[in-house]
Amino acid sequence: MSPSPFASLNLGYRTGDEAARVTENRRRFVEALGARLDQVICAEQVHGAGVARVDARDRGRGAEDPGSSVPGVDALATSEAGCLLLLCFADCVPVFLADRRRRAVALAHAGWRGSLAGVAEAAAAEMGRLGVDPGELVVAVGPCIKPCCYEVSPELAQRFADRFGDEVVRRTRWGAPSVDLAEANRRALEALGVPKASIYIEPECTACRTDLYFSHRAEGGATGRMAAVIGLGAGDVGGCGSG
């Protein structure tokens, strides 16, 4: 429904796009997943490491009004069927977490601030409080900006090296300092006990593929937002989607 520069399935309200268009886009997206918009639960997304556990009482928060989103957090977790956790992205790292036995799911928004602050680990820790063993987690890291396009200052690169190891510091295609956000989050989760083989990283770069993805960095901030969604269905059948 959205025109340029938000064309066409913009799922984020805080972009400059008309709210009515975003709501209709969200409705179409969620219905394509076989769900309803009133099942959606959104977080405020403040580039931190806060996590909220949500349940049926939170359904609808942020779904059609960003002001009603769960405040002050960048990750959501639930063990209740029928709750669809939804976060928005345009280069930052979407981290999906699910228990192998489908007892709980979580979703984290990890930009550079959230990655350094440990938002993915915080989401996994919240699942631990729901009785989930890190060794039973499966994780999917969705499309995000990759080192080829993600220029950072030498100071920030060093902070990532200190936190996650020198291997996460890379170079862009033009030779500037860069960091691998997806790899940093993978390393953090593996350190918690999530098996390396249970962590999948989508290889595509959002900044390289603006034909497929919104990219805040590549498009100068004038762009839409993708969404990641995860939830537990009836009978504890887990599922996730992105658009």
Q: pLDDT digits over 166-223, tens only?
A: 999 999 999 999 999 999 999 999 999 999 999 999 999 999 999 999 999 999 999 9
What band does 236 get if pLDDT is binned at 50, 70 and 90?
very low
- C-alpha torsion angle, residues 157, 163, 167, 168 (rounded to 10): -60
The residue count for the chain: 243
What band does 106 get if pLDDT is binned at 50, 70 and 90?
very high
Q: pLDDT digits over 11-63, tens only?
A: 999 999 999 999 999 999 999 999 999 999 999 999 999 999 999 999 999 99
Q: Is 36 helix (H, G, I), strand (E, B) or coil?
A: coil
Is pLDDT above 50 for 237? no
65, 41 in Cβ contact below 8 A? no
Q: 131's torsion region: left (phi>0), alpha (psi -120 to 50) or beta?
A: left
> Under 8 Å CB-to-CB from 215, ≥6 apart: which residues?
90, 91, 145, 206, 207, 223
> Among 81, 46, 63, which residue's Cα sits nearest to residue 227?
63
- Check residue 241 and give its pLDDT: 55
Q: pLDDT digits over 108-159, tens only?
A: 999 999 999 999 999 999 999 999 999 999 999 999 999 999 999 999 999 9
ω into 4 cis (within 30 of 0): no
Residues 39-242: name the CATH superfamily. Answer: CNF1/YfiH-like putative cysteine hydrolases (3.60.140.10)
Which tokens in the block code for residue 13? 């309200």
pTM of the predicted model, to two decimals? 0.95
Mean pLDDT for 210-239 is 87
142, 133 in Cβ contact below 8 A? no
